[in-house]
Structure 1
Amino acid sequence: MNAIAQKLETIVGSSGVVAWDDIEAKHRERIQQAIAIENYPCLTYPQTQAELADVVTCAYKNQWKILPCGSMTKLDWGGLAQGVQIVISTERIHQLIEHAVGDLTVTAEAGILFADLQTTLATAGQFLALDPTRPESATLGGIVATADTSSLRQRYGGVRDQLLGISFVRADGKIAKAGGRVVKNVAGYDLMKLFTGSYGTLGIITAVTFRVYPIPEASSTVVLTGNSDAIAQAVTSLRASALTPVASDLLSKQLVTNLDIGQGLGLVVRFQSLAASVQQQATSLLELGQQLNLQGLIYVDDETELWQALQQQMRSPTKPTEITCKIGVLPTNAVATLTQFNSHMGLIHTSSGLGLLRFDADVDKQSILQMRDFCHSQGGFLTVLSAPKAFKETTDVWGYQGNALSMMQRMKQQFDPNNLLSPFRFVG
């Protein structure tokens, strides 16, 4: 590793390479949770896209295996990478390239912090319609690489729906681009979809262009709680109505209890638009809940605290032994799924059927696998995002049962034939 560090120093300088023993403790712990064997890789911080390309070119020539990351907030997601010799962080490649206010687009380098970008966009009355895990420290590149967004997908779609352009460094060190900087440009659209959620296995993202939106005038959230049949009816009625929520999530009984917002299953629906429209829509949904004998409440002034508490409960484990899973089921089976998992914390988006489950440290592996089988029976999946390393060493975290595995493997072979990028971290 000393020889590798010395070679990298000729590219990024001594301040851009950190030997294993000198890596900050919290970063060292995250890297250990992400790799299969503790072979003590060095950590490098390129400061420009060109430097990153040079680092990857050097690694390609020497056949060094690479684990890309941003600020490491999601480095422990996915499978354990194997044989990693270099961890490359893009967090110092963090420039805002262009904010086209009139075109409602923004282009920024991959290492820019999501929170910093939102602050900049807010000065122009705009925002990026994503709500990732740990928004204060997540980078744009990491968000795209893990396809990380949450409740706002109800109105704005997922990461790939808002991504307009992408630049990345290939496994051989060459810089490539796809898409453009205007909303109507769809060139390279499939390539951008391919990189979204690829966990750094196809290339290292260096810059992205996103669609942005005007900050809405007003916002409020309706919370309905009660028995599962009534909640299911409320969801059905909401789908059939003219209401236009920006977020609509089903909450398990345990999560409702932890948030202290009622009893039974929960339905949390957020409206954002003109003030009069928001008030009318929130009142209409509350009245619907009352007709179904559900307990209901409208959050306005304390709305932000509610969503922050929800984020904290579902996406910020307090112990490294806790297990977080991403699930997906048919939206029509979402209530039945949460009823099955009532003793655990769970959240499912009503429109997509995607969501999260959180388990305490004492849950056994067999229980997780049984829950995966149930999700499969509901037309969905269960993927283990974060879990203790010992759990991942003995478990297929992806549990993929689709028919696209051979195609994905051919894609990996095309983009990274020597398996140098995030080796063994993804499906298959």
Structure 2
Amino acid sequence: MSAQSETVWTKLSAIVGADFLRPASPADMIDGVLPQMVVEPGSANELARVLAHAKEVGLFVVPRGNGTKLDWGNPPHRADLILSTKRLNRVVEHAWGDMTATVEAGCTVADFQHVLAEHNQRLALDPLWPAQSTIGGILATNDSGALRIRFGSLRDLIIGITVALPDGTLAKSGGKVVKNVAGYDLPKLFTGSLGTLGVITEATFRLYPLPRATQTLCFTTSTSDEMSRLVLAIQDSTLVTTGLQIVVEETSAPRICVRLESVQAAIESQAQHLIKISAQTGAEQVDVSADEWNEPERLWQVAPGGIVCKISVLPTQLGQLCEGVRAALSPLHAKWKLIAQGFGVSLLRMEHADEKLLLDVLDFLHNLLKQLDGSVVVLSCPLEIKKQIDVWGDPGDTLPLMRRIKEQFDPSGTLNPGRFVRGI
């Protein structure tokens, strides 16, 4: 290590303490790129000072929570320093009377929910791997689950944010009250930005009560058209669902699961209404498994080597999407599984020994989604495939705006270089 490098790391050690700066190990590798060091600041101020120093000396920084989605995005052009939010893990305030809460970025979703549950409240969100995923991580990736059909996405739930910008500035936007429209909307801008504009240190959310009772009912249909009719009939009805999930595999009929939450009497009434709707559309009621709503996580609980995509279409196009996926993959004898949510966002896993065929299927999906005015993003795939594609797909006419925003917030390209759309 050169004297200049030693000076760089010595200054970082002085900011966070020697115990919280260490050399990176192979476990810290990001898509084949091994950073030099890992730093764990203990406060937002320390984190901001680390960023300012990194920018000053020309270090390229990758923010990280628990790393559950660190393989999402393009491979970094370069990574010198992993900036961990692991120690920023406090629930700062739970204003249960106002139904809001403020939490640091390194707190896991499960720990946050546990604190909120003490007052029978919750963050109405069900992202992947809540026991490991951090608040900052789900915001950076805009992760959500089936609850979105009732409560909206993270952009609907977040009402305030604190971010550390690459120059060391701590910027705040929003507040602790639900109605807050003053100022530039940083919460929505930073949600889904993959840590390319700044590092989220703290967020404030609107909360919802925990449900008194919950019931799930599941149905199967013989065709994608019947599935689509059932899904649209449910959404056109007076039913208030907190989950509407469709699972389709290469050898099985569509399976539709519906979650109802309310007081028990209301659930029983809605369940009877749902059964009538299903009968009118030709669906058959089937048994419910104990972990229906963990289906998305199981897409990653298989042998490595497949491709997992996130696909967005209109709810009215889910039937077309299912048929398009089946038409593309069935002739190849590929293994595949599609998990779609009633609001139009799906996860697709596909596996085949021939990677070239999978690349051809990706091209087909991009063309199909272009016709549907939808989008497809590759979340996980072998590195050999990732190096041949842009996982974000075609950004269309939004790319110039994205680049201008990046230049405004991170003109030196300090944060996550190359990992966002078209190498942003």
Q: TM-score of the superposition, structure 1-length normalised?
A: 0.91
* Matching of residue 232 in structure 1 with residue 228 in structure 2: yes
Deviations 1:385-413 (A, max 9, x none): 11122211111111124211101100000
> In structure 2, what is the Cα distance between the partners aligned to 1:312 and 1:327?
16
Q: Which runs of 5+ in 2 are unaligned?
A: 331-335
Shift of 1:101: 0.4
Match of 2:247 in 1: 251
**Aligned counterpart for 2:276 among listed residues 273, 287, 308:** 287
* Matching of residue 346 in structure 1 with residue 338 in structure 2: yes
Which stretch has the larger CA shift, 320-329 or 169-178? Answer: 320-329
Asked whether the equivalents of residues 35 and 82 of structure 2 are also in contact (C-alpha less than 8 Å), the reply is: no
Match of 2:310 in 1: 326
3-state SS, counterpart of residue 112 of structure 1: coil
Q: Which runs of 5+ in 1 are unaligned?
A: 258-262
> In structure 2, what is the Cα distance between the partners aligned to 1:201 and 1:411?
10
> In structure 2, what is the Cα distance between the partners aligned to 1:115 and 1:238?
30
Corresponding letter in the other structure for 2:60 = K
Asked whether the equivalents of residues 230 and 283 of structure 2 are also in contact (C-alpha less than 8 Å), the reply is: no
Corresponding letter in the other structure for 1:231 = M
Match of 2:333 in 1: none
Match of 1:356 in 2: 347
Match of 1:260 in 2: none
Shift of 1:339: 2.2
Change (3 A) 1:71 1:361: farther
Asked whether the equivalents of residues 139 and 191 of structure 2 are also in contact (C-alpha less than 8 Å), the reply is: yes
Match of 2:110 in 1: 115
3-state SS, counterpart of residue 249 of structure 1: strand
Asked whether the equivalents of residues 252 and 341 of structure 1 are also in contact (C-alpha less than 8 Å), the reply is: no
* Matching of residue 16 in structure 1 with residue 20 in structure 2: yes
Corresponding letter in the other structure for 1:354 = V
> In structure 1, what is the Cα distance between the partners aligned to 2:352 and 2:169?
43
* Matching of residue 416 in structure 1 with residue 410 in structure 2: yes
Deviations 1:48-91 (A, max 9, x none): 11110111111011121111111111111011111111110101
Shift of 1:222: 1.6
* Matching of residue 219 in structure 1 with residue 214 in structure 2: yes
Corresponding letter in the other structure for 1:205 = I
Change (3 A) 1:350 1:178: same
Identity of matched residues, %? 37
Shift of 1:356: 0.9
> In structure 1, what is the Cα distance between the partners aligned to 2:420 and 2:301?
22
Corresponding letter in the other structure for 2:413 = N
3-state SS, counterpart of residue 318 of structure 1: coil
Shift of 1:138: 0.3
Change (3 A) 1:180 1:166: same
Q: TM-score of the superposition, structure 2-length normalised?
A: 0.92
> In structure 1, what is the Cα distance between the partners aligned to 2:13 and 2:304?
33
**Aligned counterpart for 1:6 among listed residues 4, 10, 13:** 10
* Matching of residue 395 in structure 1 with residue 389 in structure 2: yes
> In structure 1, what is the Cα distance between the partners aligned to 2:178 and 2:211?
20
> In structure 2, what is the Cα distance between the partners aligned to 1:427 and 1:181?
32
> In structure 1, what is the Cα distance between the partners aligned to 2:266 and 2:296?
26
- Correspondences of 1:1-400 after superposition (within 5 Å): 3=6, 4-20=8-24, 23=25, 27-28=27-28, 31-33=29-31, 38-188=33-183, 190-226=185-221, 227-254=223-250, 263-297=252-286, 299=288, 303=290, 305-308=291-294, 310-314=295-299, 316-342=300-326, 343=330, 344-351=336-343, 353-360=344-351, 362=353, 363=355, 364-400=358-394
Asked whether the equivalents of residues 43 and 87 of structure 2 are also in contact (C-alpha less than 8 Å), the reply is: yes
Asked whether the equivalents of residues 202 and 416 of structure 1 are also in contact (C-alpha less than 8 Å), the reply is: yes
Deviations 1:31-57 (A, max 9, x none): 332x6xx35321111111111011111
Asked whether the equivalents of residues 385 and 397 of structure 1 are also in contact (C-alpha less than 8 Å), the reply is: yes
Asked whether the equivalents of residues 251 and 338 of structure 1 are also in contact (C-alpha less than 8 Å), the reply is: no
Shift of 1:189: 6.1
Asked whether the equivalents of residues 5 and 19 of structure 1 are also in contact (C-alpha less than 8 Å), the reply is: no
Shift of 1:252: 1.5
Which stretch has the larger CA shift, 320-329 or 201-210? Answer: 320-329
Deviations 1:199-257 (A, max 9, x none): 00000000000111100111111211112222121122112211110111222234xx6
> In structure 2, what is the Cα distance between the partners aligned to 1:322 and 1:187?
45
Change (3 A) 1:189 1:121: farther
Asked whether the equivalents of residues 164 and 189 of structure 1 are also in contact (C-alpha less than 8 Å), the reply is: no
**C-alpha RMSD of the superposition:** 1.7
Which stretch has the larger CA shift, 225-234 or 114-123? Answer: 225-234
Corresponding letter in the other structure for 1:13 = G
Corresponding letter in the other structure for 1:15 = D
Shift of 1:330: 2.1
3-state SS, counterpart of residue 171 of structure 2: strand
Aligned residues: 406
Change (3 A) 1:188 1:273: farther
> In structure 2, what is the Cα distance between the partners aligned to 1:97 and 1:39?
33
Which stretch has the larger CA shift, 152-161 or 323-332? Answer: 323-332
Asked whether the equivalents of residues 228 and 339 of structure 1 are also in contact (C-alpha less than 8 Å), the reply is: yes
Corresponding letter in the other structure for 2:315 = P
